[in-house]
């Protein structure tokens, strides 16, 4: 499980939005990709993330379409 102090500094690697905890995942509060947490370690690679419904690729994410992704 992720500790609150770590969760408070983690952000989405694309749009830099805060993350929220959903079970064993961290979810971007803006564009919705889900990052798995395994053995207390978040996998923050966007290539490994589960994309939200309606997104078939990273280019479909709102932060990428708006140009906010870094």
Residues 6+ apart with CB under 8 A from 34: 22, 25, 26, 27, 49, 50, 52
Is 29 a member of any domain? yes
- Secondary structure class of 4 (helix, strand, coil): helix
> Which residue's structure tokens are 């983690």?
10
Residue 66 CA: distances (Å) to CA of 41, 43, 63, 70: 30, 24, 5, 11
User: What percentage of the chain exceeds 90 in pLDDT?
Assistant: 70
Is 70 a member of any domain? no
- Give the domain range for residue 43: 4-65
Number of domains in the chain: 1
pLDDT digits 0-9 by tens, 13-43: 998 999 999 999 999 999 999 999 999 899 9
Domain of 33: which CATH number? 2.20.25.10
Alpha-carbon 57 to chain mean position: 14
Residue 70 has pLDDT above 80, yes or no: no
Of the pLDDT bands very low, low, confident and very high (cuts 50, 70, 90), residue 68 is confident
């Amino acid at each position: 499980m992720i500790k609150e102090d770590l969760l408070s500094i983690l952000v989405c690697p694309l749009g830099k939005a805060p993350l929220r905890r959903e079970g064993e995942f961290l979810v971007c509060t803006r564009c919705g990709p889900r990052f798995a947490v395994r053995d207390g370690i978040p996998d923050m690679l966007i290539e490994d993330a589960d994309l939200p419904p309606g997104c078939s690729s990273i280019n479909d994410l709102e932060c990428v379409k708006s140009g906010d992704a870094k």
